[in-house]
Amino acid sequence: GAGVSQSPSNKVTEKGKDVELRCDPISGHTALYWYRQSLGQGLEFLIYFQGNSAPDKSGLPSDRFSAERTGGSVSTLTIQRTQQEDSAVYLCASSLRSRGLGQPQHFGDGTRLSIL
Amino acid sequence: DQQVKQNSPSLSVQEGRISILNCDYTNSMFDYFLWYKKYPAEGPTFLISISSIKDKNEDGRFTVFLNKSAKHLSLHIVPSQPGDSAVYFCAASVSDSWGKLQFGAGTQVVVTP
C-alpha cells in the first residue's frame, strides 16, 4: 500500500519481556517519527529520524526504549524489560522532510501494546 | 507541561450545523499548526494546516483560524456530517526545528442526525 505500515497491529506480552515494533514509512519520505498514545491522552512524541542526521531521542521516556532506522527506510522501536506503564498505542509517522516549511506527517494505524 | 490544550473533551452537533473546535497553545515559538482526525483503531489522518504567516486557511468544509496574539486556533466544519464523528487533535510545531509535533488531548465530536 501507499501509506505508513506498522506491525504487529496488536501485541500482548508479559511484564519484563522485550518487544520490537516495526514501521515502514511512505516511500520517499525522509523523516520518520514515533509517538505513543496512552489511554485518554494525546499523542506523545518519542523519537524522530531525518535522513542521515543523528536522531532526536529527546522524547524517549527511559533507557529501556531505543529505535533504529535502517537504510533510511524501515524503523524498529524496541522496548526492553517492558513495564505495565508501557501499555499504549505506538504510532509511526513519516513526512517528506521536517525542517523548514511545515510538512504534514502521515500516520500508520499503530501497534496496540498491552503489558500483562 | 502541556503546550497544546484542547479544553473541550467532547462536542455534540446536529448534522448540517457548524462544528467549532478550539485549541490553545502556550509556546510562542510554534509557527505551524495542524488538525488531525482519528477514528477508533486507526491512525490520525491529516486534515488541514496553517502557517503562522496566515490567519485563515480553508479546504472544502474545513476552515482553520489562527489568532496569534491570543495563541488560539479553531477548526470550523460546515456543514457537519455523520462521517465527521471522530476525535480531532490539534498539533503544533516549530518549523525551524525538526518538526516534532506537540499534540492536544483531543476532542471527541459526535454528529447526530
* B35 near A CB under 8 A: no
Mean pLDDT along residues B16-34: 95
At A102, the amino acid letter reads: G
Flag if A99 and B49 touch (Cβ within 8 Å): no
- A104 with B105: Cβ contact below 8 A: no
pLDDT at B14: 97
Mean residue pLDDT of chain B comes to 93
The tens digit of pLDDT for each residue in A65-101 reads 999 998 878 999 999 999 999 999 999 999 887 555 5
**CATH of the structural domain A5-95, one choice from 3.30.930.10, 1.10.240.10, 2.60.40.10, 2.60.40.1930:** 2.60.40.10
pLDDT at B35 over 90: yes
Mutation choice for B interface testing from A45, A46, A105 by most B CBs within 10 A: A105
Of A42, A104, A109, the CB nearest to B41: A109
pLDDT of residue B98 exceeding 60: no
User: Would the pLDDT of A54 be above 90?
Assistant: no
Per-window interface: B 44-63 vs A, CB < 8 A = 44-46, 49, 51
CB A13 within 8 A of CB B65: no
Query: Of the ranges A35-44, B16-25, B33-42, B44-53, which is most confident?
Result: B16-25
What is the pLDDT at residue B99?
A: 67
Average pLDDT over residues A12-25: 97
Rounded to a whole number of angstroms, the distance from the CA of B2 to the nearest CA of chain A is: 10
CB contact under 8 A, B34 and A43: no
Q: What is the pLDDT of residue A25?
A: 94
Set of chain B residues whose Cβ sits within 8 Å of the Cβ of A48:
98-100
Q: Report the percent of chain B where pLDDT is more than 70.
A: 96
Residue listed under C-alpha cell 496553517: B50
Give the contacts of A14 (CB within 8 A, at least 6 positions apart): A82, A115, A116
CATH class of B4-112: mainly beta
pLDDT digits (tens, 9 = 90+) for B71-97: 999 999 999 999 999 999 999 988 766
How many CB atoms within 10 Å of residue B41? 11
Q: Does A98 touch chain B (CB under 8 A)?
A: yes
Nearest to B34 among A48, A59, A104 (CB): A104
Average pLDDT over every residue of A39-53 = 87
Please state, in angstroms and as integers, the Cα–Cα distance from residue B24 to each residue in A10, A101, B67, following that order. Answer: 33, 22, 10
The CA angle A88-A89-A95, to the nearest 5 degrees, is 140
- A33: three-class secondary structure by DSSP: strand
Residues A91, B44: C-beta atoms closer than 8 Å: yes
Strands of A19-24's sheet, edge to edge?
A5-7, A19-24, A75-79, A65-69
Provide the number of CB pairs (under 8 Å) joining chain A to chain B: 74
Put simply, whether B36 touches A (Cβ < 8 Å) is: yes
Share of chain B above pLDDT 90, in %: 86
CB-based contact, A100 to chain B, within 8 Å: yes
